[in-house]
């Protein structure tokens, strides 16, 4: 390995992975001396009873808590401010986030504001805060975002029509918790898109230009587990073995990208989320194959290893062939778990210049294996869009 100097590694203070892990929450709250807890979640998770499974544990242990359930997908600055006002009004001193990326991201934003004040826009970029915020117990309910184990969080700035990406060690959760029992009720479409988000984390962490031996190991095993178990988790959501594999995979992928970097898939997906409110996992899943095709000439050896991790028979192939096989395997997986096309979303070709320009500036794009041009990004988006239209027409015409 090339000498890259000193590498800093980050992870949550504690990690809990496994069935009924939520039962441990009161024990950790006692250790934190938490007096009043803010539970951050969304209305969907309250409605499906997923949040209720966690609050039932808090009720049994007589934990003093209040609930903010106003989080929406691609949470905005407005939602962060609302949640923070609620936190202050109730004089909370700890946060439990229940959700996928959105509630966990809001919890991180509230935690940073609680210790540092100011506006969330002040913290856009790398390590902009001075102090660690109030402790977060990040209870993950989707096996995808990795938000519970990373030092990154994303907030949509509606006025600027873009996404703020904060990468801040002070936002790391005190406890990252992955309990597969909470994921049982997740619908197949969400299982699919969040699962491909995790796959994107692992692949981008593996091929980006800031990977390390530590992140390589995490990414490889994550890719292997996702290839083995995502289809089954989508097909039968109550299969605990598949759900548990996806818990491990998403956690390792989250740890991988948090300690290495991402790439152009996320760079474009962040814009699709900020501009059209396309859910994050879906935006990544849509963009992944074409960005990999674009990156392939610059990371053929690494993609050949991805093919191997995905269980492809590549021993007899050249590196060039094996790297193409990796992209084929990704396409097959995306097809099997029924990810929609870009043309099924609110995306409009008239916005392509704006999207490409902002994708180039996105923090995730900075670690892509090769530096793309504006035209490169436009071509990738356009190819993805027209490929979707052609597929649709072929389907409609039988
Ligand atoms: Fe992601």
The predicted-structure confidence for 219-247, as pLDDT tens digits, reads as follows 999 999 999 999 999 999 999 999 999 99
Q: How far is the CA of 33 from the centre of ligand 1 (A)?
A: 33
- The pLDDT of residue 162: 75
Q: Is residue 3 part of a domain?
A: no
**Are 245 and 386 members of one domain?**
yes
Same domain, 143 and 220: no
Q: Is the pLDDT of residue 50 over 80?
A: yes
Instruction: Please give the structure tokens belonging to residue 273.
Output: 């989320």
Question: What is the Å distance from ligand 1's center to 312 Cα?
Answer: 24
- Would residue 72 count as lying in a domain? yes
Q: How much distance in Å is there from the Cα of 81 to the middle of ligand 1?
A: 23
What's the pLDDT tens digit per position in 143-185? 678 889 888 898 999 888 777 989 899 999 999 999 999 998 8
Cα atoms found within 13 Å of the Cα of residue 243, Cβ hemisphere only = 23
- Rounded to the nearest whole angstrom, what is the distance from the C-alpha of residue 280 to the centroid of ligand 1? 6
Distance CA 231, CA 207 (A): 24
The pLDDT score that the predictor gives to residue 144 is 78
**Does residue 142 share a domain with residue 257?**
no
For residue 100, name the pLDDT band (cuts at 50, 70, 90): confident
Taking the CA atoms of residue 366, residue 370, residue 373 and residue 378 in that order, the dihedral angle to the nearest 10 degrees is -90
Residues 178, 214 within the same domain: no
Predicted local distance difference test score (pLDDT) of residue 4: 64
78 lies in some domain: yes
pLDDT of residue 339: 95
Residue 185's pLDDT is 84
Of 126, 148, 183, the residue that ends a domain is 183
Cα–ligand 1 centroid distance for 353 (angstroms): 23
- Counting beta carbons within 10 angstroms of the beta carbon of residue 101, is it exposed (0 to 12), middle (13 to 18) or buried (19 or more)? buried
Q: If you measure from the C-alpha of residue 266 to the centroid of ligand 1, how many angstroms do you get, rounded to a whole number?
A: 6
Last residue of a domain, one of 183, 203, 234: 183
Task: For residue 103, report the distance from its CA to the centre of ligand 1, in Å.
Answer: 14
Task: Calculate how far, in angstroms, residue 213's C-alpha sits from the geometric centre of ligand 1.
Answer: 21
**Centroid of ligand 1 to alpha carbon of 198 (angstroms):** 7
Same domain, 208 and 107: no
Alpha carbon of 398 to ligand 1 centroid (Å):
34
Residue 27 buriedness (CB in 10 A; 0-12 / 13-18 / 19+): exposed
| Ligand 1 centroid, distance to 145 Cα (angstroms) | 5
Ligand 1 centroid, distance to 102 Cα (angstroms):
11
| Distance between Cα 92 and ligand 1 center (Å) | 29
Q: What is the rounded CA–CA span in Å between residue 204 and residue 152?
A: 15
Q: Are residues 205 and 350 in the same domain?
A: yes
Does residue 73 belong to any structural domain of this protein? yes
Tell me what percent of the residues of the chain surpass a pLDDT of 90.
85
User: With 90 as the cut, is the pLDDT of residue 42 above it?
Assistant: yes
Rounded to the nearest angstrom, the distance between the alpha carbon of 252 and the centre of ligand 1 is 13
Same domain, 160 and 197: no
- Structure token digits, residue 374: 């504006």
pLDDT of residue 316: 95
Where does the pLDDT of residue 1 fall: very low under 50, low under 70, confident under 90, or very high at 90 and above? Answer: low
**What pLDDT, on the 0 to 100 scale, is given for residue 334?**
97
**pLDDT tens digit string along 261-280?**
999 999 999 999 988 989 88
Contact between 140 and 250 under an 8 Å Cβ cutoff? The reply is yes
Per residue, the 3-state secondary structure of the chain, as one string, reads: CCCCCCCCCCCCCEEEECCCHHHHHHHHHHHCCCCCEEEECEHHHHHCCHHHHHHHHHHHCCCCEEEECECCCCCEHHHHHHHHHHHHHCCCCEEEEEECHHHHHHHHHHHHHHHHCCCHHHHCEECCCCCCCCCEEEEECCCCCCHHHCCEEEEEECCCCEEEEEECHHHCCCEEEECHHHHCCCCHHHHHHHHHHHHHHHHHHHHCCCCCHHHHHHHHHHHHHHHHHHHHHHHCCCCHHHHHHHHHHHHHHHHHHHHCCCCHHHHHHHHHHHHHCCCHHHHHHHHHHHHHHHHHHHCHHHHHHHHHHCCCCCCCCCHHHHHHHHHHHHHHHHHHCCCCCHHHCCCCHHHHHHHHHHHHHCHHHHHCCCCCCHHHHHHHHHHHHHHHHHHHHHHHCC
Cβ atoms of 173 and 137 within 8 Å: the answer is yes
Per residue in 112-150, pLDDT (tens digit) is 999 999 999 999 988 999 999 899 999 999 867 888 988
CA dihedral 127, 132, 133, 137 (to 10 degrees): 100
Indicate which CATH number applies to the domain containing 69: 3.40.50.1970
Query: Per-residue pLDDT for 398 more than 80?
Result: no
**Average pLDDT rounded to a whole number, residues 299-319:** 97
Distance 248 CA to ligand 1 centre (A): 16
Biggest alpha carbon distance in the chain? 64
For residue 5, pLDDT over 80 is answered with yes
Give the Å distance between the CA of 79 and the centre of ligand 1.
Answer: 20
C-alpha 215/C-alpha 297 separation (Å) is 22
**Quick check: is 2 in a domain?**
no
Indicate whether 214 belongs to any domain.
yes
Backbone angles phi, psi at 95, to 5 degrees: -130, 135
Q: How far is the CA of 148 from the centre of ligand 1 (A)?
A: 12
Residue 7 maps to a domain: no
Same domain flag for 28 and 113: yes
Cα 142 to ligand 1 centre (Å): 12
Tokens representing 181 are 């029992």
Same domain assignment for residues 227 and 120? no
Q: pLDDT tens digits, residue range 335-350? A: 999 999 999 999 999 9
Q: What is the CATH number of the domain that holds 342?
A: 1.20.1090.10
Is there a single domain that holds both residue 148 and residue 214?
no
Same domain, 143 and 214: no
* d(CA 35, ligand 1 centre) in Å: 33
Instruction: Evaluate whether 274 touches 162 at the Cβ level (below 8 Å).
Output: yes
pLDDT in tens, 62-89: 999 999 999 998 899 999 999 999 999 9
- Compute the mean pLDDT over every residue in the chain, rounded to the nearest whole number: 94
For residue 188, give both structure tokens: 């197949």
Q: How far is the CA of 55 from the centre of ligand 1 (A)?
A: 27
The reported pLDDT for the residue numbered 293 is 98
Tell me the whole-structure pTM to 2 decimals: 0.90
From 117, 150, 183, give the residue that closes a domain: 183
One domain, residues 169 and 206:
no
Q: How far is the CA of 147 from the centre of ligand 1 (A)?
A: 8
Q: Identify the pLDDT of residue 3.
A: 57
Protein residues within 5 Å, CB atom, of ion ligand 1: 197
Task: Report the pLDDT averaged over residues 84-99.
Answer: 97
> Distance of CA 253 to CAs 158, 218, 256, 280, 308, Å?
29, 6, 5, 16, 17
pLDDT for 145 equals 80
The residue range of the domain holding 166 is: 14-183
Q: How far is the CA of 287 from the centre of ligand 1 (A)?
A: 12
Looking at the structure of the chain, the number of domains it has is 2
Q: Is residue 6, in this structure, part of any structural domain at all?
A: no
């Amino acid at each position: 390995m090339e000498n890259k100097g000193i590498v800093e590694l980050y992870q949550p203070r504690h990690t809990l992975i496994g069935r009924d892990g939520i039962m441990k929450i009161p024990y950790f709250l006692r250790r934190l001396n938490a007096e009043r807890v803010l539970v951050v979640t969304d209305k969907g998770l309250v409605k499906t009873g997923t949040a209720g499974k966690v609050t039932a544990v808090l009720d049994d242990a007589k934990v003093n808590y209040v609930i903010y359930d106003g989080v929406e997908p691609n949470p905005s600055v407005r939602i962060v401010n609302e949640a923070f006002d609620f936190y202050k009004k109730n004089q909370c001193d700890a946060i439990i986030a229940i959700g996928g990326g959105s509630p966990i991201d809001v919890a991180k934003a509230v935690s940073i504001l609680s210790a540092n004040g100011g506006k969330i826009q002040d913290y856009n970029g790398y390590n902009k805060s001075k102090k660690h915020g109030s402790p977060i117990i990040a209870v993950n309910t989707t096996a995808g975002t990795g938000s519970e184990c990373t030092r990154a969080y994303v907030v949509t700035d509606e006025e600027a029509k873009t996404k703020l990406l904060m990468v801040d060690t002070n936002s790391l959760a005190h406890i990252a918790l992955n309990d597969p029992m909470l994921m049982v009720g997740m619908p197949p479409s969400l299982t699919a898109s969040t699962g491909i988000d995790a796959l994107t984390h692992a692949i981008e962490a593996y091929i980006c230009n800031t990977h390390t031996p530590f992140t390589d190991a995490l990414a490889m095993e994550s890719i292997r587990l996702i290839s083995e178990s995502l289809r089954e988790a989508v097909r039968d959501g109550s299969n605990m073995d598949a759900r548990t594999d996806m818990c491990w995979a998403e956690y390792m992928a989250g740890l991988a990208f948090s300690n290495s970097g991402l790439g152009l898939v996320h760079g474009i997906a962040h814009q699709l989320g900020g501009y059209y409110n396309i859910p994050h996992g879906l935006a990544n899943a849509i963009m992944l194959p074409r960005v990999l095709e674009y990156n392939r000439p610059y990371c053929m050896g690494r993609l050949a290893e991805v093919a191997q991790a995905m269980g492809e028979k590549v021993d007899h192939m050249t590196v060039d062939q094996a790297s193409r096989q990796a992209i084929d395997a990704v396409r097959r997986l995306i097809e099997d778990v029924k990810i929609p096309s870009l043309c099924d979303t609110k995306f409009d070709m008239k916005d392509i210049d704006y999207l490409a320009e902002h994708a180039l500036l996105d923090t995730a794009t900075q670690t892509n294996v090769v530096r793309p041009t504006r035209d490169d990004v436009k071509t990738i988006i356009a190819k993805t869009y027209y490929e979707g239209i052609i597929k649709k027409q072929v389907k409609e015409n039988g």
